[in-house]
Chain A
């Protein structure tokens, strides 16, 4: 057997806001999936219980954990009481946020208050130049005085960010030593350790987010690990870059957990794309309150060098920021927007039909849930249009009342618009799709990738319902829907590998770089990365891959493009970099500047373990057959204007057994429905049981 056996069994648990999905492969090779309510205090007990009953004596060697805890703590500002230590004149750096705002015009806008209140932001004298030479020494007295005040104020954690510390961290190190001596209990995070790059706001903000999370994540992981101690399993946590880290690293660098919950789904889509040999894929994960999009190229998710947390994501936020708290750590480029099945439809003052951003959430939920919701949601529209199973959702646990859906849409939308129920529902469905299209465009066309050249992988409870409509508006011709679409993210976790990044600051002209020195630096980085990998896993992995990337721009340009750096060439190390940068620049922006100097901001070395995760196909093989759909057909509405079709309803297995079937067709599953409109055909691969939808013509 391969390295997996020595690993023992892997159990993945993906803790979202509402549900925790647990997925593992039992001792008999069968995939077991369960959905439990997310209750923080009980997660450890639940996981232990699932492992005990499901593993039937098998030993769990590794627990794989994805969680929205870190991002929720920041969004709700339920973080530790944290102080900021910075350079005189920059006390307000976290509030001013580079004077950015995420919108061009919104007279009603309010800026988020800083994560660290002004009262806890202090300055210590001492100054570095941009080239790292000290101008004045650090005043240790200033630091000690502040620490005394912070202790009285109940501070638990300190973020240290001095101007130009990216060039010389000496003052930050010195301040940290002073703080640790004066107050051994305080958590201290220095900016050069968290994000050693230029621009004070982004670095200070990343450090502040990290520092304010350290005590929160420490407490959480302490309790979690104590709770599952009996399993004697190693706990690994999903990080924003789609790799795993050990729990000790997670305690020190919780800012890398911000996208923990979203990354697992994107990763699952990437693995699926790789195994199916898909060149470019748009991954869409749509649930009840949000939709997340990510672009996968040749089996790898695109990444982004920075992002924000704290306010609804908008496209302009991606441009300038200012809407939330800046976070500058490598992360998968996932765009999340507030559009899901629970998004509420309404009519604005201009008479246009809108969807969201307000959501009915899980409680009361869509009107059709019979929990007292009266506002029409996208899910209600899907019920009216006949797309969604009209009897029950969520593995039969959630009964549906179509009459309530119809009543809400009639009263709130159809009547005020003087139109009929079906047209109003079709309108709401179309408008919700337009919003989601924005997210999909943000990760594709905005980055210079033609969406028409992509396949779409749709998952989440609502993804398969909307996938073909989104594909039509983007010009995408093929859609893939995996098994267990509702817990697909947890499946992704099961497949994840350990990953470490080492970033080497460069900040110079490409022409001035000495390939030999770069190679020496990379060799050192690789040693450190391998050590970290070994330590995380408690031993050498069966294999590993090392990749290098450079963040490159034309001199004076604002943003860098991340370009692969091929290392096998020795002296040619940097030769291909300029060419690949030009190619990437032409793709994203449509032009190149052959005579302009090229600058390298940094080089990143990434190491990823291999062979610890299962492959997708073997996982899917192990999924038990879903229950067969009961209905034979139902009436569903397609087209514009919408027309009724008596539409066959089949199960995935029925589809797999037969020939490709033309739409209209509905594939009912335990936790979603795959909608196949007229003009599309559906087939199911007998091997990996992926449903593939293709547009005719």
Chain B
């Protein structure tokens, strides 16, 4: 592409300088938030920061995944609409409304406008997942809620601070409605501190580079993103891909057939549209997906078509239309419950990615999907109540150019992590007895998917437990790759000798007693490409590492391993024969 500088454009060096400085601001905001916040969710990375220009157009860079940027994008018009006049300096907004451009309610956004001499320069934004938002069920994110009114306190865009002061009355009102108000407050204040830092730094950018620098930068980045996506779309075959899938859990348990998930993916020249007509109507459980997140999931999937440096912003989505019937599972009307939408957002992203893979097979990896978690509520042996939310991840599926990654949050999720066992054991009446890989469980492929993991909790007190499982069916591969081991849940009662298999439900509730062991398997994700084309040295390496048994090396990859532990080698002849026989079969 041409690098000629157009009139009014910022030159190539200044563009890069601004990109660095603006990205650094979002990272500084993230550092302030993560280090000063008080909940395990923030500690584990369930938050993001972003910036927008004075027109409420997101800058798209910094400490947020494309999907999280998409959420900021859908929220910003509601913030802008809330500004009756120019905001006063030091204004702080708070929002969590699933029906006003946001996702589920425990994710609470804070927005601070940046002003110079009364002129609106831009916005600093942050969200984090709070441990609770009130409502019927601790954690406020159960699939068992049947209406938004059960899910806690809904905050449309609300001004909660002005002139540098927080409205303590309003904050008290919120804190009176949530479980764990102290920690809630700590997280909220961390976000306010982070956003204030961001707004102050935006002002310094304006001082250094001029009042219009941010707007000009963003205009140019929007053009760039739009051009990049258009180029990528133009390279795809034009036409319509009709996708039909089903979602195997209606929020109350496994159903067959599942809820229909349908969309038409249309590529026309350098534009695309995704229309969810035909997808299930909204349901009476809490798994409905707010439309903001439906859009964000689509944006995130299409991001894979462009280079890694292309930013998600208003320009990026200009050639990309997303529509869904109002009242559907992916565009629900108030008062639909949405707290348990986690598995669906991952699945939606996953199937769009799989549809795109049919059009661009060498660009699209096998998706990893969402987070699994265990919630436990009870009273510890010292008589103190506890609420534990333990979130963790599976891994990445196989990629067109390389293997997936074991035991890592999906790429669209951001820099999450899992809590250390020692921290959990210090804080809660639980022994974490395992967090390790299961051999032979990765989706086989030329580039294999991730291994399944098991996480096991031995309870030292009675507790009400909810286990969230993101899929009940195995993750399929792409381009000839195989599926991974399925997710699952097991229970070993203190008095029992054998592990029992728990019912397949995405949101499984059970009561455990002291001494009981719960084991959760996060499934393996699918492989990419024909497993028989996998490099035999890579198969051998997995055998040496105990990630693959000899038997599975033959069955999954057609690779014969000779020798014993400590001296394994590939039996080239045997492998050739086995692979030839397998190909004929």
Contacts and interface: CB of A to CB of B under 8 A. Distances in A.
B38 A557 contact: yes
Given A92-B435, A153-B566, A445-B28, A350 B38 contact: no
Contacts of A350: 1, 224, 228, 307, 309-310
Interface stretch (B102-110, B135-143, B402-410, B505-513): B402-410
A99 B422 contact: no
Interface in A536-561: 554-559
Contacts of B420: 98, 198-202
Interface in B218-238: 224, 228
B16 A164 contact: no
A269 B5 CA distance: 42
B431 to A, nearest CB: 7
Contacts of B399: 107-108
Contacts of B34: 319-320, 558-559
A90 B435 CA distance: 6
A152 B567 CA distance: 11
Contacts of B64: 104
Interface residues of B, number: 92
Interface string B394-428: 00000101100111110110111110111101100
B21 interface: yes
B585 interface: no
Given A92-B407, A107-B308, A437-B21, A426 B13 contact: yes
A119 B564 CA distance: 13
Interface in A204-232: none
Contacts of B434: 88-90
B30 A434 contact: no
Interface stretch (A40-48, A259-267, A415-423): A415-423
Contacts of B401: 108
Nearest to A203: B422
A99 B409 contact: yes
B423 A588 contact: no
A559 B13 contact: no
Nearest to A445: B28
B456 A89 contact: yes
Nearest to A435: B20
B31 A446 contact: yes
Nearest to A558: B43
Given A105-B414, A320-B415, A352-B15, A118 B456 contact: no
A446 B15 CA distance: 22
B36 A352 contact: no
Contact of B435 (A96, A111, A554): A96
B463 to A, nearest CB: 17
B168 interface: no
A400 B417 CA distance: 49
A401 to B, nearest CB: 25
A353 B13 contact: yes
A431 B15 CA distance: 9
Contacts of A433: 17
B422 A199 contact: yes
A28 B34 CA distance: 55
Contacts of B193: 589-591
Contact of A591 (B1, B189, B408, B436): B189
A52 to B, nearest CB: 49
Given A152-B566, A589-B36, A590-B196, A316 B13 contact: no
A590 B12 contact: no
Interface string A358-402: 000000000000000000000000000000000000000000000
Nearest to B223: A350
Contact of B208 (A95, A355, A473): A473
B19 interface: yes
Contact of A98 (B20, B310, B412, B418): B418
Contacts of B65: 104-105
B436 A89 contact: yes
A428 interface: yes
Given A441-B28, A446-B31, A596-B182, A431 B422 contact: no
A291 to B, nearest CB: 14
A554 B422 CA distance: 19
Most buried by A among B42, B182, B421: B421
A103 to B, nearest CB: 7
Contacts of B453: 92, 96
A349 B411 contact: no
A499 B95 CA distance: 51
A557 B36 contact: yes
B39 interface: yes
B32 interface: yes
B538 to A, nearest CB: 12
B2 interface: yes
A353 B12 contact: yes
Interface stretch (B255-263, B319-327, B542-550): B542-550
B365 A107 contact: yes
Contacts of A135: 431
Contact of A351 (B2, B48, B435): B2
Interface string A438-472: 10010001100000000000000000000000000
Nearest to B304: A107
B474 interface: no
A173 interface: no
Interface string A406-434: 00000000001111000100111011011
Contacts of B192: 591
Contacts of A103: 415
B66 interface: yes
B12 A100 contact: no
A559 B43 CA distance: 9
A556 B545 contact: no
B16 A104 contact: no
A427 B13 CA distance: 5
Nearest to A426: B13
A435 B189 CA distance: 31
A355 B392 CA distance: 37
Given A118-B547, A417-B12, A428-B13, A590 B28 contact: no
A417 B182 CA distance: 55
A516 interface: no
B31 A418 contact: no
B24 interface: yes
A559 to B, nearest CB: 4
B35 A559 contact: yes
Contact of B436 (A91, A108, A435): A91
Among A423, A435, A558, max chain B CB count under 10 A is at A558
Given A163-B421, A428-B13, A446-B31, A101 B546 contact: no
A558 B12 contact: no
A318 interface: yes
B437 interface: yes
B415 A349 contact: no
Given A198-B423, A589-B36, A418 B4 contact: yes
A280 interface: no
A354 B436 CA distance: 40
Nearest to B306: A349
B6 to A, nearest CB: 11
A92 B546 CA distance: 11
Nearest to B42: A558
A476 B360 CA distance: 50
Interface in B163-204: 182-183, 186, 189-190, 192-193, 196-197, 201
A512 interface: no
9 contacts: A88-B434, A100-B417, A119-B546, A164-B422, A350-B1, A352-B12, A433-B17, A473-B208, A558-B42
Q: Give the 3 A-B CB pairs with smallest separation, nearest first.
A: A427-B13, A89-B434, A118-B545
Interface of B: 1-5, 11-17, 19-21, 24, 27-28, 30-32, 34-39, 42-43, 45, 48, 63-66, 68, 182-183, 186, 189-190, 192-193, 196-197, 201, 208, 224, 228, 304, 307-310, 365, 392-393, 399, 401-402, 405-409, 411-412, 414-418, 420-423, 425-426, 431-437, 453, 456, 544-547, 566
